[in-house]
Amino acid sequence: MAEGMLLGVAQKIIDELGSWAFKEVASLWNVEAELENIKNTVSTIQAVLRDAAEQQRHSHQVKDWLEKLKDAVYEADDLFGEFYSEALRQGGMSGNITKKVRNFLSTSNPLVLRQEMSGKINAMKQKLNAIAEDRKLFHLKEYHVEPPVSMDREETHSFVLDEKVIGREDDKEAIIKLLLEPNDEENVSIISIVGIGGLGKTTLAQFVYNDKNIKEHFELKMWICISDIFDVKMIIQKIISATGLNEEQSWLLFKQISFRKGQGQGTNNPRLEEIGREIVRKCQGIPLAIKSIGNVLRLEKTEHKWSYVNNNILESATQQKNDIFPILKLSYDYLPSHLKSCFAFCSLFPKDYEIDKVTLAQLWIAQGFIRPSNKNQELEDVADEYFKDLLWRSFFEEVNVFGKLKYKMHDLIHDLAQLVARAECTIITRDGNNFDEKTRHVSLPFYIDSSFIETSGLLVRAEKLRTYLLTFKPSMPHRAGKIDESMLNKLILSCRRLRALGLCGVRIERVPDSIEKLIHLTYLDFSENLGIKTLPNAISRLWKLQTLKVNGCGNLKELPRDIRFLVGLRHLENSNCKGLSHMPDGLGQITCLQTLSLFVVRDNQASTSGPISSGLEELNSLNSLRGELEISKLRYFEDVYSEPNAANLRAKQYLDQLTLSWGATHSFFCSDGDNDSYEKLLEGLQPHQNLKFLYVYGYGGVRFSSWLSLLTNLVALSICGCKRCQQLPRLSQLHSLERLSLSNMQVLEYISDGDINEEVPTSSFFPSLKSISIWQCPNLKGWWRSTSTTDHQQHPHHRSLPSFHHLSDLKIWYCPNLTSLPPFPYLEESLHLDGVSLKALQQTIAMNLSSRFCKLKSMTLISIEDAEALPDEWMSNLISLKKLYIRGGPKLKSLSLAVPHLTSLESLAIRDCELFDSISDMGDDGIEWQHLKCLSSLCYESVPNLKSIPSGLQQVTALRKLEISSCPNLTIFPEPTSVVYLDISDCPNLTSIPDGMKNLTSLEELRIFNCPNLISLPDGMRSLKSLQKLIIEQCPVLKKRCEKGIGEDWFKISHVPVIGICLDTLRISETDLAQVLVRAGLVLLCSRVEKKGMQQTFRSHIGTDDANRFFEFCITGPKEFSLAINGLAIP
């Protein structure tokens, strides 16, 4: 089944031998006939590969023939790579290969090498001819190898729409009911969803996880994915045995996949529908199977083809019940040949691995799997099309990782990839026992430790390797082992056929010169190796290198000085290389370069080992750059007046993101220098108008360049640390702008220096702007420097005043002089004001709109100096507000009479408000509290005037969490029966807790901290049957009274499973430790013990083996367990 990868290599040979470059060299070296013969032979063999792959199942002779063929084809590919390399060294090629490059690479006698190479080519011709002749013995059928075609695909997205989840509504509701219903008999609920692979268990869990009711009910949620090698003994408390979709649901999903958009409701061909329903029944209601077969048949809309699949293929594929693997295999069989090799290669990534699409494309290109249909196509664009085809056919699933799209393979799809790749691709186990000498692509998905050193001994048998990748995430560098120079040298000398080498995050300090022996190397990744300070110039001899990655090598000072000779380099990824002092001379000659993450302007004072770049002119000809580019240390550019446009950024139409930084880091601020030179340089750095993201750091000019207003495609703009900048161009012309960020603009007074009457009409005023962030602009007064007689600040009710109609998120920090902003009545997500006068809201508040702020969900007010209460006319509209956070209001005495209008409020926190006493304006009877029907969390912290919390809190039936901290005058607190979590901290005058606490029947966790005058616990504690955890700290009297067995209050709390007294020890009893950790929160526990100076925490034990031991202990361990804070040990 590995014929997919073999087909890819064979096609690569055919394409290369037919290229102009090879033909030119063949003519000069007089091997034209031999190479043409080999090309024809490989084409002949390629045509029978598909049938040979089928026959090998039943014929050992065919299988042996395929093995010989595979070795010969790979050997031929290696030979032609060597041939091409030697031709380059000896100057046998023209075109873009300059004489300097040939001289740089030439090391040997050309006549001897030509004779040697000619002999190798003749020997290869004879070997391939003999293998091709043997094919006749097996009477193999010939199949046409189809050229790559572009698929007509629907747009994909990064999330699952509810309407895309078919047939799981009842299951979803059943699980939600179990999760939300109270259960006093169990300390923790475990709900297991079981079923065969592909049934939709993960989709169902995601469906539940993202449900609105679950989000509102559970304050803390975590999604944890455990691979199938994580074998944990667990007691299953409840089981939902997941069943497949019913017949109608299955048909609905099949239609959604098989028919084009717009045909999802059915087909005009009744016979096709009849066959389709038969096919669906054979998929046994399993969504993954339905999607797989649907993706196959959506390309074949004939009755004959559907009948053939139904009667001939599915009939035999579905003999075994509850096994959908044959159906998945069918989806692979119907892949075009160019996608088969790409898919099989993906078996190198471990299960649940988050695949980066760009990296995968680079790896495919390195192996020669990408076949452009015409010379004008870029390899990366073709690879992207291949990937989209596989995604469209459900071989990949999209996942969102911190706002970035990554991709995973379903477990069964991953199994399929391993099946078809066979020994070609291997994920090496920790002991290395699964390594095969026939393997050509390997990955190591574990932290490098002593086992790697042992495994590396296998490398002496790895001479056929083409790919060597480390696929772990370097998130725990202290646990990663170290690859020293000798080990790396051994790897290089043992694996000379490598096309891709990825050694990310393994503490490499020095790369040996032997790296130049890897003449086939196309992809090289040394990212996240902080010990690397320089790269050897020998890398410049890797003439086939297309991708070089050193991302995160923060101590790297220099790139290879002769990097200009890497004329085929397409991607130089060097983001976060803050130690780079310059760029090597001649970088600008690599005109095919598409990725350059970071360009560092030279520092004339820096010492270097070789020629350095003369400056921004190196960027002049690099007009194929795409993606992201950062130019740093711009303050060192000296040719401002003679070469202001040296970088030629206006010609770089493919760039999406540009970062201009005048320092080595984004925190650098220019405060000196000639203003004219700053402005001249910035003017010369005008980018192409296609740019979408612009970030400027540390610019030292007074005025910003006018070209900013011309970037009409700009989506995000951030200007930071421009401390002398007094004026920005008009930004309202940026109609595509969605995010605007201004920070550390020390002298900026107005964002727009013009007159408000010159502004655009309100209908076209920032029509796309969704987010504004303004930070540390102490002199900022307003948006416009309005000079007309009809000053808008004098006419706040002016209905034609330009306003932000689509602004959803507004955050302003430390702008004390800001008194006016354009109205923003339609905020939806968040309003955050810190160190800002409420006068900045006056234009919005004054608008005669009943709907202003009616959709706002979150509001944070910090250090609001000028308000005794929040404006009633503003608060009364906050009917959608869910979170209100107030901190540091020195004059704030109460909230607002309009608080009862906050009917959607879920969380209220008031901190550091000296004069605040309570929500007194809601009345002593507390009836107004009943309007806060959604309030689930309430926090008072550092509110010295607070003596009691209104009894009306009893009316808030949704309240689950109550925190009272640093309220020295508090003597009375309420008894809301719905509270689950109660935290009382730093209340020195609190002497007792009323016995009415027995009414807190829902209380699960109680924390009492630093209440030194609290002398006892109420008798009602015995009635708290739901209480699972009690923590008492810095309460000396209570500590003594609660001593186990002898304390006067011990009998009141002895029923609580988890008791922590002063956190000397944490006593766990009457329950399994696993249940306690889930209920109490392992992350919180870890954070608390870390603060106590504990050297080893649970985190150091997490790993496959350790986790197995840990959870086994949780199930079989003793019923009572003491956890010593200063010495955690898990048996």
pLDDT in tens, 849-873: 666 788 999 999 999 887 888 888 7
- Residue 540: which pLDDT band, with cuts at 50, 70 and 90? very high
| 256 shares a domain with 318 | yes
Q: Using CA atoms, how far apart are residues 765 and 499, in angstroms rounded to an integer?
A: 53
Residue 71 and residue 131 in contact, taking contact as beta carbons nearer than 8 Å: no
Angle at alpha carbon of residue 809, lines to 804 and 815, rounded to 5°? 85
pLDDT of residue 458: 64
Q: Is 799 helix (H, G, I), strand (E, B) or coil?
A: coil
Among 335, 364, 393, the domain boundary falls at 335
Report pLDDT digits (tens) over 1014-1029.
Answer: 888 988 898 898 999 9
In a domain, 368, yes or no: yes
Find, among 255, 312, 313, the residue nearest to 280 by Cα: 255
Residue 493 belongs to some domain of the structure: yes
Q: Are residues 1126 and 1094 in contact, defined by beta-carbon separation less than 8 angstroms? A: yes
Q: Are 683 and 650 in contact (CB under 8 A)?
A: no
Number of helices followed by number of strands (H, E) in the chain: 29, 34
The whole-angstrom separation of Cα 408 and Cα 830 is: 32
pLDDT of residue 1097: 34
What own/partner pairs with CB < 8 Å and gap ≥ 24 does 406-411 have? 406/354, 406/355, 406/356, 406/357, 407/354, 407/355, 407/357, 408/352, 408/353, 408/354, 408/355, 409/346, 409/349, 409/351, 409/353, 409/355, 410/197, 410/198, 410/288, 411/197, 411/228, 411/351
Q: What is the mean pLDDT of residues 870-882?
A: 86
Lowest mean pLDDT among 585-589, 621-625, 639-643: 639-643
In the predicted model, is pLDDT for residue 159 greater than 70? no
Domain-ending residue, one of 419, 452, 467: 419
- Asked if 568 and 545 count as a contact pair (C-beta separation under 8 A), the reply is yes
Which pLDDT score is estimated for 752?
85
Please state, in angstroms and rounded to a whole number, the distance separating the CA atoms of residues 436 and 338.
25
CATH code at position 396 = 1.10.10.10
pLDDT exceeds 70 at position 315:
no
* Structural domain includes residue 171: yes
Token pair 């922590």 is found at 1060
Co-location of 68 and 131 in the same domain: yes
Confidence of residue 430 (pLDDT cuts 50, 70, 90): confident
Question: What region, left, alpha or beta, does residue 744 occupy, with left being phi > 0 and alpha being psi -120 to 50 degrees?
Answer: left
Q: Is the pLDDT of residue 67 over 60?
A: yes
Q: Which of 1002-1011, 1018-1027, 1038-1047, 1077-1086 has the lowest mean pLDDT?
A: 1077-1086
Structural domain contains residue 1037: no
251 in the same domain as 237: no
Nearest-angstrom CA–CA distance, 288 and 296 = 13
The string of pLDDT tens digits covering residues 1045-1061 is 899 999 999 999 988 88
Residues 478 and 508 in one domain: yes
Answer yes or no: is 690 within a domain.
no
CATH classification of the domain holding 319: 1.10.8
pLDDT the model gives residue 28: 73
Residue 34 lies in a domain: yes
Tell whether the model's pLDDT for residue 1083 goes beyond 80.
no
| Confidence bin at 306 (pLDDT 50/70/90) | confident
What's the structural domain count of the chain?
6
Give me the mean pLDDT over the 504-513 stretch. Answer: 92
> How buried is residue 374: exposed, middle or buried, by Cβ count under 10 Å (0-12/13-18/19+)?
exposed
- Pick the closest to residue 337 from 9, 755, 783, 801 (CA basis): 9
pLDDT at 691 over 50: yes
Q: Band the pLDDT of 219: cuts 50, 70, 90.
A: low
Which has more pLDDT, 596 or 977?
596
Residue 213 pLDDT > 50: yes
User: What would the pLDDT profile of 477-488 be if each residue is shown by its tens digit?
Assistant: 445 567 889 889
The reply to whether 437 falls in a domain is yes
Under DSSP, the state recorded for 852 is: T
Q: Which two tokens stand for residue 340?
A: 């088969």
337 close to 146: Cβ distance less than 8 angstroms: yes
Predicted TM-score (pTM) of this structure? 0.82
Instruction: State the Cα–Cα distance between residues 923 and 917, nearest whole angstrom.
Output: 13
Q: To the nearest whole number, what is the mean pLDDT of the chain? A: 79
| pLDDT above 50 for 1084 | no
Q: Is there a single domain that holds both residue 127 and residue 56?
A: yes
Instruction: Indicate the pLDDT class of residue 199, thresholds 50, 70 and 90.
Output: low
pLDDT recorded at residue 165: 56
715 pLDDT higher than 80: yes
Of residues 13 and 652, the one with the higher pLDDT is 652
Residue 903 phi/psi, 5-degree rounding, is -70, -15
Q: What is the pLDDT of residue 241?
A: 41
Asked whether residue 946 is domain-assigned, the answer is: no
**Of 223 and 433, which is predicted with more confidence?**
433
Closest to 662 (Cα-Cα) out of 691, 696, 615: 696
Where is pLDDT greater, at 951 or 538?
538
> pLDDT tens-digit profile of 1096-1109?
333 333 333 443 43
Is 815 exposed, middle or buried, given 0-12, 13-18 or 19+ CB atoms closer than 10 A?
buried
Question: Which whole number is the average pLDDT over 468-480?
Answer: 65
pLDDT at residue 365, as a whole number: 96
**Residue bearing the bigger pLDDT, 61 or 105:** 61
Q: How confident is the model at residue 735 (pLDDT cuts 50, 70, 90)?
A: very high
Helix 20-29, helix 110-134: angle, nearest 10: 110
Residue 363 has pLDDT above 70, yes or no: yes
Cα angle vertex 54, ends 53, 58, to 5°?
110
- In this structure, the answer to whether residues 80 and 40 fall within a common structural domain is yes
Do 487 and 526 share a structural domain? yes
CA distance linking residue 429 with residue 348, whole number of Å: 12
Do you know the residue count of the chain?
Answer: 1131
Q: Which residues contact 1118 (CB under 8 A, 6 or more apart)?
A: none
Q: In sequence order, what DSSP letters do the residues of 537-598 get, joined into one string? A: GGGGG-TT--EEE-TT-TT--B--TTGGG-TT--EEE-TT-TT----BTTGGG-TT--EE-E
The predicted pLDDT at position 267 comes to: 64
Using the predicted structure, report yes or no on whether residue 185 has a pLDDT greater than 60: no
Q: What percent of the chain has pLDDT over 70?
A: 75
Residue 88's pLDDT is 65
pLDDT for residue 318: 56
Beta bridge partners of residue 813, listed in sequence order: 775, 834
Top-confidence residue, 1090 or 670: 670
Q: What is the pLDDT of residue 602?
A: 86
Residues 127 and 20 in one domain: yes
| Position 534 pLDDT exceeds 80 | yes
- What is the mean predicted confidence (pLDDT) over 26-55? 84
| pLDDT for 188 beyond 70 | no
Residue 382's contacts (CB-CB under 8 Å, 6 or more residues apart) are: 148, 370, 371, 372, 373
Rounded to an integer, the average pLDDT of 37-55 is: 85
pLDDT in tens, 747-800: 999 998 777 766 656 667 899 999 999 999 999 999 987 644 344 444 444 456
Mean pLDDT to the nearest integer, 586-612:
82
pLDDT at residue number 66:
86
Residue 845 in this model has a pLDDT that exceeds 70: yes
Residue, of 498 and 850, whose pLDDT is higher: 498
Give pLDDT, residue 1119: 33
- Cα–Cα distance measured from residue 571 to residue 598, given in angstroms and rounded to the nearest whole number: 11
Residue 196 structure tokens? 């065969």
Task: Name the pLDDT band for 162 (thresholds 50, 70, 90).
Answer: very low
- C-alpha 1090/C-alpha 168 separation (Å) is 43
pLDDT confidence tier of residue 2, bands split at 50, 70 and 90 = low
The pLDDT score that the predictor gives to residue 919 is 57
40 has pLDDT over 80: yes
**Residue 275, domain extent:** 244-335
pLDDT at 920: 55
User: Is the domain of 173 the same as that of 286?
Assistant: no
- The residue from 531, 554, 577 where one domain ends is 554
Residue 26 confidence (pLDDT): 78
- Residues 300, 325: one domain? yes
Of residues 519 and 196, more confidently modeled? 519
**Hey, which bits of 391-477 come out as E strands?**
397-401, 404-408, 425-427, 441-444, 467-470
pLDDT at 224 over 70: no
- In the predicted model, what is the mean pLDDT of residues 986-1002? 84
Confidence of residue 49 (pLDDT cuts 50, 70, 90): confident
Considering the domain architecture, whether residues 37 and 129 belong to the same structural domain is answered as: yes
CA distance 768 to 778: 27
- Over residues 37-63, mean pLDDT: 85
Residue 733 has pLDDT above 50, yes or no: yes
Across the range 275-280, mean pLDDT stands at 88
92-140 confidence digits (pLDDT tens): 344 444 444 444 444 445 566 677 778 888 899 899 899 888 888 888 8
Do 133 and 30 fall into the same domain? Answer: yes
DSSP 313: I
